[in-house]
Amino acid sequence: MDTVIHTVNLTKRFGDFIAANEITFDVYQGEIFGFLGANGAGKTTAMRMLCGLSTPSSGTATIAGFDIYKETEKIKKNIGYMSQKFSLYEDLTVLENIRFIGGIYGLSDKQIKEKSGQLVETLGMKGEAKKMVGALPLGWKQKLAFSVAILHEPKIVFLDEPTGGVDPVTRRQFWDLIYEAAGNGITVFVTTHYMDEAEYCNRISMMVDGEIKALDTPAKLKQQYSAISMDEVFYELARGAKRSE
């Protein structure tokens, strides 16, 4: 299996505060990797480093084969990113958003046209293609945002709480999209507060107080903590957390 994320002792300090402390883990190609942790455990900091947005204080890492210190521009070309907060431009139409993002990643006009047609078709949004994104229901926006994030066929896509506040049916449709992307070889790196979604991941890491306290498949984690649900595993691990946000 190809390793697409490889970190060794990755650390980020803000003054005296160690936001992420010697994080070491690997993520493999096509894997759905759940990145969990309590509020303030250091998830956002770690994710920013992995996306090349923030320089680590120490440690090494390669993302999609590129060095996290020297090749951040190449990293950015090979990853996709989507969060609950920033997704798309509300005052542009669905097609305009696709065209814009496609343009940023250097897709040709022909590619963009082809892909936007495909995308609108598979999402069942043909009727909404010329509507402002702001007028779409939240669930549709999130599905669209995800599809746009993987428009340029990145090696890895980072999803920061992509399903927060989304209705249960759309949430499952969203996960169908995640499975499909993983099936196409895109590695999915996802954070969530829904513990049932943790079960859908191939492997999960749990961050507590800036450190990765556990990393395994959901089944093995439940076994290890003799828990019946991921909820219990999370509670068991996060309960001892000293800091929060």
Partner 1 sequence: MKDVFLNNISKTYHKGMVQAVNDVTFHVSKGELFGLIGPDGAGKTSIFRILTTLLLPDGGTASVNGFDVVKDYEAIRKNVGYMPGKFSLYQDLSVQENLNFFATIFHTSIEENYDLIKDIYIQLEPFKDRRAGKLSGGMKQKLALCCALIHRPTVLFLDEPTTGVDVVSRKEFWDMLKRLKQQGITILVSTPYMDEAMLCERIALIQNGRIMSIDKPKNIIEQFPEDLFAVKSDTMGNLLHDLKNTEIIKSCNAFGAYHHVTFNHDDPEMKEKLIRILEEKKHMNIELKPITPTIEDCFIKLMEN
**Alpha-helix residue ranges (DSSP H) falling in 150-229:** 168-183, 195-199, 218-224
**Which residue of 6, 172, 213, 216 would you call a contact of partner 1, by CB under 8 A?**
172
- Closer by beta carbon to partner 1, 92 or else 132: 132
Among the residue ranges 9-17, 63-71, 93-101, 231-239, the one whose residues contact partner 1 (CB under 8 A): 231-239
Buried b (16+ CB within 10 A) or exposed e, 178-209: beebbeeebbbbbbbebbebbbbbbbbbbbbb
Among the residue ranges 93-101, 113-121, 146-154, 164-172, the one whose residues contact partner 1 (CB under 8 A): 164-172
- Give the neighbor-by-neighbor strand order of the sheet with 58-63: 17-28, 3-14, 58-63, 66-67
- 66-67/79-83 β-pairing: unpaired
Q: How far from each other are the two terminal CA atoms of the chain, in whole angstroms?
A: 35
Neighbours of 56 (CB within 10 A): 22
- Closer by beta carbon to partner 1, 17 or else 69: 17
- Residue 199 CB, nearest approach to partner 1 (Å): 4
Residue 82 tokens, joined: 């989507």
- Residue 41 CB, nearest approach to partner 1 (Å): 8
**Which 143-162 residues touch partner 1, going by CB under 8 A?**
161
Q: Should residue 168 be labelled a site residue for partner 1 when binding is judged by CB under 8 A?
A: yes
Q: Residue 88 — left, alpha, or beta (φ > 0 → left; ψ -120 to 50 → alpha)?
A: beta
**Which residue of 22, 26, 153, 199 would you call a contact of partner 1, by CB under 8 A?**
199
Which of 51, 115, 97 minimizes the C-alpha distance to 77? 51
d(CA 22, CA 35): 16
Q: Should residue 213 be labelled a site residue for partner 1 when binding is judged by CB under 8 A?
A: no
Q: Should residue 238 be labelled a site residue for partner 1 when binding is judged by CB under 8 A?
A: yes
- Closer by beta carbon to partner 1, 107 or else 230: 230
Among the residue ranges 60-68, 96-104, 106-114, 192-200, the one whose residues contact partner 1 (CB under 8 A): 192-200
Binding site for partner 1 (CB under 8 A): 37-40, 137-139, 161, 164-170, 172, 175, 179, 183, 193-200, 218-219, 222, 229-231, 234-235, 238-239, 241, 243-245
